[in-house]
Every structure is written in C-alpha cells, then in structure tokens.
Structure 1
C-alpha cells in the first residue's frame, strides 16, 4: 500500500491517489469522496438529446476561429463571454495531430507504475507535479481525480526537471502543445478586448504583455468510479485565473456548466477547445464578462483525461477593473489585488463555487459605503 500514499510533502494528512482507490475500493467509495447531498450530481440534470456527434439541445456556443480578425468572430466571442462565460473554439489552428499526441502522452504517464508517478509527487508550496487534492483544509471532502500541474510562463519559473520523462514522447509533445496554445490564448484575448470596445491588445497588456503573462497546465485524470452519483471529479467552482483552454476526451462527457440555475452537460465537439472566462477577466472587465461555475462528473464505465491550460495575469501585477470600463454608471465592482494574493485564498480554502470572487465584491461594497 505504500505506493498508494504520499505521506509528506507538506500536506496536512497523507495523500491517497484516486487511481489506487479506484483499483481497490470495490463497489463502495470511501466516505471522504462522498459529497453532501446538495452537491451531488443530480439524476434529474437535463441531458441533451442525441445528435450527429453525440448530443444536441442545450449546449455552450461554438465559435469558428478560422477568421480571427473578422468582426463577426469578435461579436461571436463577445456574445459567448457575456451570456455563457464559455464557448467551444473550432478551426483554431492547433493541429489535431498535436492534440491527440498531447492527450496520448499524458494518458501514458497515468498508466505508469505507481512508483514512477510518485517520483513527481507535489506539495502545496507550488502544486507543481503529481497531485490528488486542490485545497489544504484538513478532513474535508475530496474530489475523485488525480492531476499533474506544471508552470509554463513566465519562462523564469518553468523547470523541465518537474516534467515527467516517461513516456518518452511527453516532454516534446507538451512543449509544442504549450507554445501553440499560448498563441491561441493571445488571439482569443484580442477578440475579448475588441468585444469590450477596447483596443485588441488591452487585455493582453493588463496580463503583463507578451512574455510577462502567466501560463500553467493541469492534466486531470478521472479514474472509473463505482458510485458516480455520490461524488465529483472536480467540485463546483469558477476558475481563479484569466482564461482556460480545456482539451477534453471527445468520447467521454463530464464537464457541466451552470446556466440559469441548472447544470448543462457539455457535448464536446471533436478537436475543439472549450474556452472559459476566469475570475481575473471578470474583474478586469468589471463583470461585463463573467466567470461561470462548472464541475466535472465521473463515470462508472470509463476513465477520463483532460488538459486544462490556464492563461493568467502576471502573478505580481495588481488586477482591478480596467479604467476604460469604469464610470459614474458603472463603478468599479472589485478592489485591486494581485493574482498571487487571490490564489492564496483558493489554495487555503479549496474550491467553493464563486464564493471567493463574491467575497471581493462584498469587500469593495463595504469599503465604499
């Protein structure tokens, strides 16, 4: 059993790998993974009807990125950001072959023997490496998933020593994938800026400019679960950073987005990126664009892997509503705070819907009253 546990590395209690739990728990999951009844996946959650690629009905918008300089594309991105906080980007320019190679390489890592994976066990200091929990609160409910977290930008904090060397394709695929996704993030950032009536480079500038912005990758692995109705792969939350580019398994659904009080199961379009607004863009846009709660369900029949690429402001740059979007009729809704300061709250308390961002808004209201 020792290979199933990470007993140190600064965590408040021994860390159990969900992969190991899945292999040994039989038909009943441990109590630590059972969510409170009001947080469990609902058996009455609306499920879209069948379509040509699996599902139709309620779904997040799909935006064709083949003409990123066009006004039509900017308007489509703006509408998705204002109304949903999510969209699927198709014809985005990242080669399908590279998407498959990145997914395959990381799936290969999670299929390595436990002793190989444990060489890269992470700690709550930076979260970089192989992990199984997102918060540091002792005794809380746990999510049904393991992950691997890497810092990519700024380049001064990227360390290939933290990258797995097995399988042999992983490092090269991840490097190439990251470079292409950063370019895509910059393109989407420009479209979002234009949708706010600003210069195309304005959000990018607020993030720290080219080479100054932050980026990191979290590869999520959700093993099979014998009681998927009792737990979640990731609890409901909004992303704390700027924007997220999510690459999911085309054939295994799991992402759910909260819309008008209901959970909508996303139907992934093959080779698309699922793009969503993070808390930092909600702050910068003074809530014109809103980060949206989402969560991940798990499956009794199939494991699932996803690559979440987080594109963030530079960690030490103060982030507040952009002055161009503040006026007598639209006062600033949030105080300035660096991304480093903001994510300290996330790491201490774990995921908690949109409570973290709402607490900032409450703080601003109290300070101005």
Structure 2
C-alpha cells in the first residue's frame, strides 16, 4: 500500500514535497498527506456534526433535497456511479455544501452557484459553525496543494492560484449504510468511478472500504485491462488526496484520475467527508504546453471547468439534466 499510495509529509521542504506529488500523481493518482495543518480536534468535531446530520429524521433531510445549484441532500441509492455494473444506486446518502453565493449576487446567474441549504439550527445548533470552519480549513489546504501541483509540473508555484478566486469548491459528507456490498450482484457502497474535477481531499472514519483499481504493469489503465483492486486503508491524522478527470485532461494524461469504489465488507456504517476542489466556473481547461510535445500532441479538446463538471453530474445523478439546470439559471431570480 505504501508504494501504491505514498504518504507525503507536507512539512517537508516544498521542492521535496512537490517531487513526491509528481511521482504519486503520475503513479496511482492517490496519496496521503500528513502534517497538513488541519487540527485533529476540528476533524473530530466535523465528523461528530455529520453523524448528527445523518441521524436526523428522513423528513428533515428530504426538506433539504438537492437543488439546481447542487446544494442539499442526496438520498440512499440516488446516485449511480457505475450504471453498467450496478443493480441499483449506491448504498450511501450525502449532502452537498458549496461556496456561499447570495441569491441576488451576479454570480448566482451561473449554474452550480447559490446559497447552501443548512439544517435547522434548532435541531443542530453547532452544525453550520463547525462545518464552515472545517470547510475553510480544507480550502486553505487545497490552496497549498495547488502550489505543490504547479511545482510538480515545473510551473510557477502560483500558476493555478488565479483560477481559484471564486472556486467551485464542494464539501460532501457521506454516510454509507451497514449493508454488505456484493459486487457480483451489482451492490456497491459507491460504484467504480473517477472523480470529476481537479482534486479531492478525503477524510474517512476508521471503517475500511475505499479501493482503487491499479493495472498490472503489463496491462493498460482501466478496469478493462488486467489489474486488481487495492485497499486504501484509513491512516489516522491524514487526508487521502486523489486527482480528478479535469487534472488528467489538463496534464494530457500525465497525471492519473484513477478508478475507485467503496465496498462494505464489515457490515458497519461508514462516514467520510469529501472535499472537491475545482477551479472557477469559467476557467479554460486546455492541455498545458509543458505536457505536450512533437510526439505527444494534445489528447483532449479545450473546455471550461463549468462545462466539464455539468456534463459529469448529468451522467450519475438521477434526474439531473444539464439543459434543465442551465435553463433554471437564465436569471438570478430563477435560482429557487
């Protein structure tokens, strides 16, 4: 596991940490970070609040159902990450929280921008405060990781910073049911998928379940070739970092967006908190010149961060239609 998913000490000199990020990003596309600056007590408090959130009555959660801005509650089995192999949707429920955008803000005219749906403070008085503290701490960690990614690509440390002035940052608490997975029957905690965006910062409890697909050295990438599922075990005090499709696109395939899934083998509930760190909605995503050459032309056409993410959401969320979402954002007053 240590070789496939290395542990990177973020207190190391920046050049050494960036070199370690390059090796991991071009390898498994997954790594752990330690000495990351996020206090242990804040992580523990955030998990306590998410457990309380998911323990609310179903009617209280359904009152916060996911809206057109991708904020709110997603019920069990609503998301199907691997439709070709799943009998039904993932055996998990979740919430989406994003950067706060006021309904009357000019930004609110864009898809995926708007106010969050917070639980009733009478039910969870500390939820918003603790969750937002955690959000801000992870955002700061994301900005540090951007520096390492830039340096790892031999770019200036601040190369990506201007693209994250109004980022599409999403905090997603997840609760996996105690239902044991049965891959042969198409039952998964989370079906096999790659993440959509730039990078993901993941915190998990002590219940295992996360697996990544790594091809044999003699086979090509992807589950269609020879390879195996490898466990990514919880490491106390660390975050798990993985790269998404957008960064793979940006680097012309140099950095890997790796297939992963969640399998329940223990019959225990599992909690995790994913933090998806994506560029501003209008950011142009075009293969970096440093990742091309005479014998390595660009493999991906240019797009934007927002276009890329909208298309990905439409593939996996029940009833999530890109055209419908864009129509709902023709004016700020159409947000809710």
TM tier, smaller: 0.7 to 0.9
Instruction: Sort the Cα spacing of 1:110 and 1:288 in 2 relative to 1 into closer, same or farther, 3 A.
Output: same
RMSD: 2.3
Aligned to 2:245: 279
- Does residue 152 (structure 1) correspond to residue 118 (structure 2)? The answer is no
Aligned to 2:33: 89
Aligned to 2:178: 224
Q: Given the alignment, which residue of 258, 264, 270 partners 1:298? A: 264
Aligned to 1:30: none
Q: Given the alignment, which residue of 69, 74, 77 partners 2:18? A: 74
Instruction: Sort the Cα spacing of 1:269 and 1:228 in 2 relative to 1 into closer, same or farther, 3 A.
Output: same
- Does residue 256 (structure 1) correspond to residue 211 (structure 2)? The answer is yes
Give the CA deviation at 1:70: 2.7
Q: Is the 8 A contact 1:186 1:204 kept in 2?
A: yes
Aligned to 1:33: none
Give the CA deviation at 1:300: 5.0
Q: Given the alignment, which residue of 293, 296, 311 partners 1:327? A: 293
Q: Please, which runs of 5 or more residues in structure 1 have no aligned partner? A: 1-55, 352-369
Q: Please, which runs of 5 or more residues in structure 2 have no aligned partner? A: 108-112, 216-226, 318-336
Q: Is the 8 A contact 1:60 1:88 kept in 2?
A: yes
Distance 1:119 1:112 in 2: 11
Distance 2:181 2:210 in 1: 17
Give the CA deviation at 1:154: 6.7
After superposition, the C-alpha distances for 1:139-172 in whole angstroms (9 at most, x for unaligned) are 9731111111112267854524x12234222101
Aligned to 1:131: 74
Give the CA deviation at 1:178: 0.8
TM-score by length of structure 2 reads 0.79
After superposing the two structures, state which structure 1 stretch, 85-94 or 342-351, moved more: 342-351
- Does residue 235 (structure 1) correspond to residue 235 (structure 2)? The answer is no
Instruction: Sort the Cα spacing of 1:153 and 1:325 in 2 relative to 1 into closer, same or farther, 3 A.
Output: farther
TM-score by length of structure 1 reads 0.73
After superposition, the C-alpha distances for 1:53-88 in whole angstroms (9 at most, x for unaligned) are xxx676511111113x43211111111111110001
Aligned to 1:363: none
Distance 2:168 2:57 in 1: 32
Q: Is the 8 A contact 1:237 1:295 kept in 2?
A: yes
Distance 1:304 1:313 in 2: 29
